[in-house]
Amino acid sequence: MRIRQCVVRTVLALGLAAGGMLTTTSPASASAAAPSALNCSAQLITGSGGHRGANITCTGSSFTGVIDCRRTDNGYTYRHFGNRVPSGGTSTVWCDLGATVVQAYGTPS
């Protein structure tokens, strides 16, 4: 994983921990073969039965929403992927019941 992606994901995680809406910009790569830079925002949501998730919206290219979830009973962290959507669309991703969102972001697809 590139260091810049780690920094972006850490910023997202800190923002999501505080709750609410957050926005981040992925750095553009100098390589011509690299995927387009994504500009993403994630909004935390709560569903039926207390499921936690995020609505992730990105522009720049098609993308797949991704969230890292942490179980509240044993601290186990895992990743869920949302649907692939075109630029400007929203990918909705859910954690399992009894887990919280640690970070949310889009990945080019």
pLDDT digits (tens, 9 = 90+) for 65-83: 999 999 999 999 999 999 9
pLDDT band, very low/low/confident/very high, at 109 (cuts 50, 70, 90): confident
pTM as predicted: 0.67
Higher pLDDT among residues 97 and 34, named by residue: 97
Cα separation of 52 and 41, whole Å?
17
Percent of the chain residues topping a pLDDT of 70: 67
Cα separation of 39 and 61, whole Å?
9
Extract the tokens encoding 70. Answer: 């942490």
Q: Is the pLDDT of residue 108 over 50?
A: yes
